[in-house]
């Protein structure tokens, strides 16, 4: 079974503070992603990476940075957290090798910015 783990699972941050969300996968997948989900809504892609030490912008990258120091680890960084970034964040890895692009999601990180 594919495994993607996120930390922290829940965090409260103050406006203007720095937040780092971490993701670790044991799937040996090259592709990793960060998605944002607002309550009851769809998933929007923030950043993704297909190789260590390289990241790419997704559909909503403004206000977010990403870091991929190794194949297994992918972090999402909010340098100056804002109220509008309150959401649930999902990390995922992709089974590109199977030629389908199926995503395996972590359990999510609930971020509340006050």
Partner 1 sequence: GDSVTQTEGLVTLTKGLPVMLNCTYQTTYSPFLFWYVQHLNEAPKLLLKSSTDNKRTEHQGFYATLHKSSSSFHLQKSSVQLSDSALYFCALRASSGSWQLIFGSGTQLTVMP
Residues that bind partner 1 in the complex, under the rule CB under 8 A: 31, 33, 40-45, 48, 50, 56, 58, 90, 94, 96, 100-103, 105-108
* Residue 48 vs 81, nearer CB to partner 1: 48
DSSP string, 36-63: EE-TTS-EEEEEEEEETTEEEE-S--TT
- Min dist CB 9 to partner 1, Å, is 11
Q: What are the residues facing 68 on neighbouring strands? A: none
Residue 97's SS3 state is helix
The least CB distance from residue 101 to partner 1, in Å, is 5
Smallest distance from the beta carbon of 15 to partner 1, in angstroms?
A: 25
3 or 80, CB closer to partner 1?
3
**Do 45 and 57 touch, CB atoms closer than 8 A?**
no
Q: Are strands 19-25 and 43-51 parallel, antiparallel or unpaired?
A: unpaired
Measured from the CB of residue 62, what is the shortest distance to partner 1 in angstroms?
18
């Amino acid at each position: 079974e594919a495994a993607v783990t996120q930390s922290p699972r829940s965090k409260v941050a103050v406006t203007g503070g720095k937040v780092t969300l971490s993701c670790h996968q044991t799937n040996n997948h090259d592709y990793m992603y960060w998605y944002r989900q607002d309550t009851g809504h769809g998933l929007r892609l923030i950043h993704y990476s297909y190789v260590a030490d390289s990241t790419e912008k997704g559909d909503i990258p403004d206000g977010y940075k990403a870091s991929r120091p190794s194949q297994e680890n992918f972090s999402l960084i909010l340098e100056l957290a804002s109220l509008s970034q309150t959401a649930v964040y999902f990390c995922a890895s992709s089974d590109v090798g199977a030629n389908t692009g199926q995503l395996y999601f972590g359990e999510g990180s609930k971020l509340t910015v006050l």
